[in-house]
Structure 1
Amino acid sequence: METLYLGCLALGVIFAVVSVLVGDVIGHALGGIFDGLSFDFLNPAVLAGAVTVFGGAGILLSRYSSLEPGPVAALSLLTAAFMSVLLYLGFVKPMDKSQVSNGFSMLDLPGSIGEITVPVPAQGFGEIMVKFGAGNSLHTAASFEHRNIPAGVKIVVVEVRDGVALVTEFEESKGDDR
């Protein structure tokens, strides 16, 4: 039985090393053929962790406890399951939700609040800075109402036409003073 535990421990360690070194290469080579079969909790990292913990716990329990092989296998399975749940809830699931993109579409600009960085003349182009997610993006802008807009003024994007943001000064509405 100890051979099984040692094999599981070695297999888990080898899988971890190989996936770190060539995981992306293998993933691209397979082209996502297993994506339809995947479940979040059957993540390769979780499965490899379970196999590794099963092997390690089995070796430790068989060598350093006076338990029979049956209870050692059962405790090893319980330990592996517990650690897999911890790995999934503590690492895999939070990391899956943390993917952030700084990509955006010009179609997302209308309604966005920004600031003039290069003055916009009545008939011509200037530049605006709009915040998207954690970053800022700069865009060519023209005045929607054909008015001069100086640098530093807060604006709102009215529409996008031919890749140019048409903007107007942003006026914050003040609450009623009743």
Structure 2
Amino acid sequence: MLGVYWGLLITGVLFALVTVLLGDLLSNALDGMFDFMSGDVLHWLQPMVLFTAITVLGGAGVLLTGYTSLVAGAVFVLSLLAAAASAVLIYFVYVKPMEKTENSVAFSMQDLVGRIGEVTVPIPARGSGEVVMRIGGGVTNQIAESFDGTEIAAGLKVVTVEVKDGALLVSCLDSNH
């Protein structure tokens, strides 16, 4: 039985090393293969939780076998309890809270259509200027051109009408510009 415990411990340690060293490569290579695990039924069965349990089961089995005089059945039950407790702990202390913090600061230029911004560098009738817009938790400066073909002064509010060739086509919101 000691061989099984060592196998589980080594498997868990190797999984940890592989995910730390090659995690991004594996994630891209297995793109979407394990998406079924993120559903409601198997939501708790995350690889991190599963391999934590496997590693603790193996480690506890090795330690209890080597340092106690317990019988094999008792060692297995205690190792299984330790594995279950560690899996529950990892899920509720690490995995579950981290799911709520996953968000991205990335945006697409098309996300700016319909958004209001402020001109920071005047926009000539024909040519480019610059606008600043709030998106997500921050601001972004973007090259802008006049949608209407009119000059727009710095400090005026504008709305993005269209995105063309990497520039925002904006129209002035202030009626007295």
Q: Same fold (TM over 0.5)?
A: yes
Aligned AA (1:80): A
Q: 1:102-141 maps to which residues of 2 (within 5 A)?
A: 102-110=106-114, 112-121=115-124, 124-135=127-138, 136-141=140-145
Give the structure 2 partner of residue 100 of structure 1. 104
Partner amino acid for 2:106?
Answer: N
C-alpha distance in structure 1 between counterparts of 2:84 and 2:107, whole Å: 38
Q: CA deviation at 1:140?
A: 0.9
- Using the TM superposition, give the Cα deviation of residue 82 of structure 1 relative to its aligned residue in structure 2, in angstroms: 1.8
Asked if 1:88 is matched to 2:91, the reply is: yes
Instruction: Give the drift of 1:170.
Output: 6.0
Structural mapping, 1:1-178, within 5 Å: 1-29=1-29, 31-32=30-31, 34-39=33-38, 40-97=43-100, 98-110=102-114, 112-121=115-124, 124-135=127-138, 136-142=140-146, 146=150, 148-150=152-154, 153=155, 155-157=157-159, 159-160=161-162, 162=164, 163-169=167-173
Pairwise CA distance, 1:154? 5.1
Secondary structure of 2:51's match?
A: helix
Q: Give the match's secondary structure for 1:167.
A: strand
Q: Which amino acid aligns with 1:62?
A: T
User: CA 1:16/1:166 → structure 2, altered by over 3 Å: closer, same or farther?
Assistant: same
Label 1:49 to 1:115 Cα distance change in 2 as closer, same or farther (>3 A).
Answer: same
Identity, % of aligned pairs? 37
Distance 1:33 1:120, change over 3 A: closer
SS across alignment from 2:44: helix
Contact 2:126 2:145 in 1 (8 A): no
2-structure distance, mates of 1:76, 1:147: 74
Conserved 8 A contact 2:122-2:129: yes
Structure 1 unaligned residues grouped into runs of 5+: 172-178
2:142–2:168 CA contact under 8 A, matched in 1: no
2: distance between equivalents of 1:92 and 1:168? 46
Pairwise CA RMSD: 3.1
Residue-pair matches, total: 167
Unaligned runs of 5+ in 2: none
Tell me if structure 2 keeps the 8 A contact 1:104–1:132. no
Task: Report the TM-score, using the length of structure 2 for normalisation.
Answer: 0.73
TM-score under structure 1 length normalisation: 0.73
